[in-house]
Chains A and B, each alone.
Chain A
């Protein structure tokens, strides 16, 4: 299957700092990328959908000024958590969709963010 990478895999930061997470599709061009947040032993919560070259579409209740998403190319999307607070600590997962055939989403390995 297609490969999606995510970097970093784990980050610990101080409260008030900003953290950038990268999501890359390695062997295909992703027409759409999705960003999810997952709490321990819970389901994935969709935060936003991003299409290359256009503004991200955020789900209800997600602060767009806090979670900045940039989809600069067909293989790269970034999520920046601005002025992070301890309640932002979570597992963040991106996925990418090629846009052909089954439209299967391929997921990155996730980033565990801990805000102290």
Chain B
């Protein structure tokens, strides 16, 4: 079974609107971390936000927030007030403590922000 599932290959959003990128995960490890990364066309991977499995509050970083629903095993990324510069590929990743600290990445979602 795939450990990280991103069901949206591509998404479009109007500038200044909010958008949600979906991510579901599968693990039996009680301790894990969830990450979102942005990869613009230049190729660099930019860390956006982190959520620990024991964190009670949803993580927020500026315009990014993570909608963590542990029972549903989902960790959706919400980008508020989209900007043209947000157009990029977005990857959800999970690190399991029992997996030697390695991270598993989803297939990614390409976000296009329209002016």
Chain A residues in the interface with B (C-beta under 8 A): 1, 32, 34, 41-44, 46, 49, 57, 91, 93, 95, 97, 102-110, 112
Quote the shortest CB–CB distance from A41 to chain B (angstroms). 8
**Chain B residues positioned under 8 Å from A108 (CB to CB):** 44
A103 vs B53: C-alpha distance when bound (angstroms): 13
Q: Are A110 and B47 in contact (CB under 8 A)?
A: no
**Chain B residues positioned under 8 Å from A93 (CB to CB):** 43, 45
Asked whether any CB of chain A lies closer than 8 Å to the CB of B68, the reply is no
How many A-B contacts at CB < 8 Å in the complex? 56
Chain B residues in the interface with A (C-beta under 8 A): 33, 35, 37, 42-47, 50, 52, 89, 91, 95, 100-108, 110
Interface of chain A, main secondary structure: strand
Q: Are A107 and B106 in contact (CB under 8 A)?
A: no
Q: Are B103 and A109 in contact (CB under 8 A)?
A: no
**Nearest chain B residue, comparing its CB with the CB of A6:** B44
Q: A97-B101, A103-B33 are in contact. Are A43 and B107 (CB under 8 A)?
A: yes
**Chain B residues positioned under 8 Å from A43 (CB to CB):** 91, 105-108
Q: From A32, A44, A97, give the contact of B105 (CB < 8 A).
A: A44
Q: A103-B101, A104-B35, A107-B37 are in contact. Are A91 and B43 (CB under 8 A)?
A: yes
**Chain B residues positioned under 8 Å from A103 (CB to CB):** 33, 95, 101
